[in-house]
Amino acid sequence: MINKNITRFILIIVSMILFYLSLPNYKFYNGIFAWVSFVGLILVNISVGNIKKNIIINWLFFILSFSVILYIDPIYFPLKFSKYIMLGVIIFFLLSSLYYSVLLTLSLYLSKRLDINYPLTLALTWSIGELLLTVLPKGFPLSIAISQIYNIQIIQLASIFGIYIITFLIIWLNGCLATLIYSLYMGKNIKNLFFQLSICLIVILISAAYGEFRIIQLEKIRNNKQRVVIVQPNFDWLLTAIATDTHKGYSVTSDRLLYLTKLAFGKYTDNLVLWPELSVNLSGSFEESHIFSELQKFTRENQINLLLGVQSKNNQKYNNCAYLLNNYGIIDGFYQKNKLVPFYEREFVSGIELKPIFSDSALKKIGVMICFESLFPFIANNQAKQQSDVLITLANDSWYGRSNWPLLHASFMVFRCLETGLPGIHLAVNGPSFNISPIGRIEQHTMPNQMVIAEFSVSKNKAKTICNASRGFSILIFFLGIGIILYFKKGGANQF
């Protein structure tokens, strides 16, 4: 018993390390680890076999994993800034971890109870679970698929089925490997399991071949570019939070943004400039503020279109918005954040409409998303359906300091571009900021925690995608097909 527990402990630690290593970083592609990262955890679940014990084991695994991945420092992170932020962080860790724990435990239970194939059940349950987080009222969508943002061939499947097909393939392979290893250890017949692993690998290879073919075909098309200037001001989180127009720190934020933008004019001649979320933080209305008058003059004198994130307050309620000022200093467009962050934005008013902003620049329609919204496929799909020319996410993320979250957040934009067939920009206060092509390739990026002005050459091409044409229903059809296969092909649980 002691030896078994030691082995299980080692397997869990190995899984945790591989999970951590599989997520995107700034130096090299390490997404290969994701394809085996959960094998150890799955083996422990199979060997324990008890629902209550498995839920506890899985819950602890995900609590520790999420803590390490984000490595939130309670001294740096603004836990003391607001009790609601602290409450939100605690609930996020506990409930997100519990949610994935239940998914993992449920898949094993269903496989045994219904006598259906475990690896497919696991992949289906996990993928549907990720999808459900996009529709639950307080859902905070996450996905293991973002580990593959540099695996450009494989992720082309997202243009057909969306991000969750990549999750399905990753978890399916993990499940196939785990059941094969367990059966070998138990001395059972592995013929059927080896056959299933072979099928899984063939599907992955075919997916990669399709991806390569799609990339070659789309890159044959002449790619016209539109240049856009992005300003990454690199503010401290506390400054972005408290520097309203009534605070002395406000001049620091506004002066830096204006200075960096003026500096860009010495290098670039583009007429569309982007400022991130919370560039302007007001205690009142934006249109009635001093900074609005200053920006009107600024855009007129420099003949630019300025898209910026603004937090304002009207009737005791906060608004998180994006405004586009044209080169006459007139507000050309306005977008109010539709999907609010649970707990933190409890005092904010949600926007009603999801529609692009019209621009005088070569990118006539801009599909704007504000921070958290880029995690939700339906928002990007809605913007694309209204003929947007580009998707732009304005984000803050300074709350998370030097954790991995800003990079993980930016990674979701790769899939929003793949799903919609549109180019995209992710601009964060502290970075990283991405320029992404319609095929999901990161064409340009900035490093985090640096003050940057950069010229992004944004593709003007669009790619047609089944995912967007089907309004995201293609993945539901796929899930239904897998469910039918499981129903009619019983006898898949005998590997235990």
d(CA 493, CA 118): 6
What is the per-residue pLDDT across 263-310, written as a single tens digit (0 to 9) for each? Answer: 887 677 668 999 999 888 887 888 888 889 999 999 999 889 999 999
Secondary structure tally for the chain: helices H, strands E:
15, 13
- Name the pTM for this structure: 0.94
Q: Which pLDDT band holds residue 137 (cuts at 50, 70, 90)?
A: confident
Looking at the fold, whether 69 and 145 belong to one and the same domain comes out as yes
Q: Which pLDDT band holds residue 241 (cuts at 50, 70, 90)?
A: low
Residue 494 located in a structural domain: no
Looking at the fold, whether 324 and 196 belong to one and the same domain comes out as no
Backbone phi, then psi, for 419, in 5-degree steps? Answer: -65, -35
Q: What does 52-102 look like in DSSP terms, one character per residue?
A: HHHHHHHHHHHHHHHHHHH---TTTSTTTT-HHHHHHHHHHHHHHHHHHHH
Looking at the fold, whether 366 and 484 belong to one and the same domain comes out as no
User: When comparing pLDDT for 358 and 347, which is higher?
Assistant: 358
Residue 466 located in a structural domain: no
Spatial contact of 58 and 108, defined as CB atoms under 8 Å apart: no
Q: Which residues contact 95 (CB under 8 A, 6 or more apart)?
A: none
The residue type of 490 is K
Residue 362 located in a structural domain: yes
Residue 86 has what pLDDT?
67
Q: Which residues pair with 390 in a beta bridge?
A: 366
Looking at the fold, whether 351 and 214 belong to one and the same domain comes out as no
Residue 255 has what pLDDT?
85
Residue 136 DSSP class:
S
Residue 496 located in a structural domain: no
Closest CA to 359 of 413, 319, 299, 312: 299
Q: 65-69, 142-146, 201-205: which range is least confident on average?
A: 65-69
Residue 91 located in a structural domain: yes
Looking at the fold, whether 323 and 402 belong to one and the same domain comes out as yes
The residue type of 348 is F
Q: Which helix (H) or strand (E) holds 164?
A: helix 164-186
Cα Rg for the chain, rounded, in angstroms?
24
Q: Is the pLDDT of residue 74 over 80?
A: no
Closest CA to 437 of 203, 221, 259: 221
Q: Which pLDDT band holds residue 2 (cuts at 50, 70, 90)?
A: low
Spatial contact of 112 and 121, defined as CB atoms under 8 Å apart: no
What is the per-residue pLDDT across 77-113, written as a single tens digit (0 to 9) for each? Answer: 554 455 556 676 777 788 899 999 999 999 999 999 9
Looking at the fold, whether 211 and 316 belong to one and the same domain comes out as no
Looking at the fold, whether 193 and 279 belong to one and the same domain comes out as no
Q: 13-27, 62-76, 148-162: which range is least confident on average?
A: 62-76
Residue 82 has what pLDDT?
57
Residue 467 located in a structural domain: no
d(CA 173, CA 123): 9
d(CA 233, CA 78): 19
Q: Which residues pair with 323 in a beta bridge?
A: 308, 334
d(CA 277, CA 395): 5
Mean pLDDT (the chain) is: 89
Dihedral in degrees, nearest 10, Cα atoms 251, 254, 258, 264: 120
Looking at the fold, whether 242 and 161 belong to one and the same domain comes out as no
Residue 465 located in a structural domain: no
User: When comparing pLDDT for 182 and 5, which is higher?
Assistant: 182
Checking DSSP bridges between strand 305-314 and strand 272-274, what pairing results, if any?
Answer: parallel
Looking at the fold, whether 298 and 187 belong to one and the same domain comes out as no
- Mean pLDDT value across residues 65-75: 67
Which tokens is 149 given?
């943002």
Looking at the fold, whether 194 and 270 belong to one and the same domain comes out as no
Residue 443 located in a structural domain: yes
Q: Which domain holds residue 322?
A: 225-460
Looking at the fold, whether 366 and 348 belong to one and the same domain comes out as yes
Q: Which helix (H) or strand (E) holds 213?
A: helix 191-219
Which tokens is 215 given?
């990339």
Q: 144-153, 270-279, 354-363, 460-469: which range is least confident on average?
A: 354-363
Sign of torsion over alpha carbons 12, 16, 22, 23: positive
What is the number of domains present in the chain?
2
The residue type of 139 is G
d(CA 147, CA 68): 16
d(CA 472, CA 381): 8
Residue 84 has what pLDDT?
59
Q: Which residues pair with 444 in a beta bridge?
A: 435
Q: Is the pLDDT of residue 72 over 70?
A: no
CA angle 278, 282, 284 (to 5 degrees): 145
CATH number at residue 234: 3.60.110.10
Looking at the fold, whether 299 and 431 belong to one and the same domain comes out as yes
d(CA 236, CA 408): 19
Q: Which pLDDT band holds residue 236 (cuts at 50, 70, 90)?
A: confident
- Mean pLDDT value across residues 56-64: 95
